Amino acid sequence: MSRTVTVGLDDAPESRAAAEWAAREALLRGLPLKIVHVQEPTPGYAARIPLLELDSYQRWAERLAHESADGIRLRHPDIEVITEQLTGTVADVLCEAAGFAELLVLGSRGLGGLGGFMVGSASLGVVARAERPVVLVRVGEQAADEHRPDPAGVPSAAASFRPVVLGLDIDRPDDTLLEFAFDAAARRRTALRAVHAWPEPPASFPRFPGDAELHDSLERAQATLLNKVLRPWRQKFPDVEVLEASRCGSAAQVLASDSRDASLVVVGRRIRTSPLGPHIGHVTHSALHHIAAPVAVVAHS
């Protein structure tokens, strides 16, 4: 059975933005789009609610999914659209749905009180547990946002895509992450910017004589290592222009800075068991909360 691009849908604005992004991604990949609406189990206190009201909710949920699907079919007639109504805990059901998908797309709310994007607990739970790629899309995301400005300086979906940005740890590069990022850039016919951050040496410039030389030496060495990691992937994807960005500083801050003009940002999440449960890592966590572009989290070993 063919995999799908699957999107979790509710009535929130960010969910509708996610559905539109998922439709465009399905078109790029030549895959069906599956729209999944999850109904939480009825809590005990709701047992006193008249059955008529519960039936009304179910009819509303079905109408939401079908109307969303009809709208996408109208705007994207070349996409096969499937709808599915499921019951269960949202994070659990979406994690299971992700297992059958090429990738799962979820909505992410707008700016919170501290200037970061608000990511719901269900979405974070899915990102931390799903073993397929999960993409978080911001509320208000438009097709034109992923493209460069047209000759008049206006962002336009008819113009070329902005670059795909990959956050890369060259000490532990993973083929699954690199494959996803290069493939995303190839499908968009755009450049891939590979971003690697390395920490300042303990004796940092310019406090001591020779620090500038030490810094320059480390910079050259890190750039060489990044180039070595990317070399086989350049050969595998010869049509993808690769932009290498090896910078000294905090990995989270460097990635956010280099992602301001991205169409898509790709980060990794290492699959591992922990007594405290799954987690996503501080760089990926920061990307989800501070990068405006859609963020794809790719689970890898």
pLDDT tens sequence across 250-268: 999 999 999 999 999 999 9
Q: What percent of the chain has pLDDT over 90?
A: 62
pLDDT tens sequence across 12-65: 889 999 999 999 999 999 999 999 999 877 654 444 445 446 567 677 778 888
Q: What is the pLDDT of residue 210?
A: 54
pLDDT tens sequence across 210-244: 567 777 888 899 999 999 999 999 999 999 999 99
Across the beta sheet with 101-108, the strand order is 81-87, 33-39, 4-8, 101-108, 134-138, 295-300, 264-270, 164-167, 192-198, 242-248
Q: What is the pLDDT of residue 249?
A: 92
Contact yes or no for 42/58 (Cβ under 8 A): no
pLDDT tens sequence across 9-27: 988 889 999 999 999 999 9
Separation CA 257–CA 253 (nearest Å): 6
Q: Which of 111, 176, 112 is nearest to 140 (CA)?
A: 111
H helices of the chain, in order, are 13-29, 51-75, 90-98, 121-129, 175-188, 211-236, 251-258, 282-290
Q: How far from the centroid of its chain's Cα atoms is residue 73's Cα?
A: 24
Q: Is the pLDDT of residue 275 over 90?
A: no
Q: What is the pLDDT of residue 54?
A: 59
Contact yes or no for 220/169 (Cβ under 8 A): no
Q: What is the pTM of this model?
A: 0.90
Respond yes or no on whether the N-terminal peptide bond of residue 206 is cis (omega within 30° of 0).
yes
Radius of gyration of the chain (CA): 21
Contact yes or no for 265/296 (Cβ under 8 A): yes
Per-residue pLDDT band at 205 (split at 50, 70, 90): very low
Q: Name every residue whose Cβ is closer than 8 Å to that of residue 237 and which is 6 or more positions away in sequence.
A: 182, 183, 185, 186
Contact yes or no for 242/192 (Cβ under 8 A): yes
Q: What is the DSSP letter of 41?
A: P
Contact yes or no for 132/140 (Cβ under 8 A): no
Q: How far from the centroid of its chain's Cα atoms is residue 87's Cα?
A: 25
Q: What is the pLDDT of residue 64?
A: 86
Task: Name the token pair of 13.
Answer: 């604005």
DSSP H or E segment with residue 8: strand 4-8
Q: Which of 132, 268, 251 is nearest to 200 (CA)?
A: 251
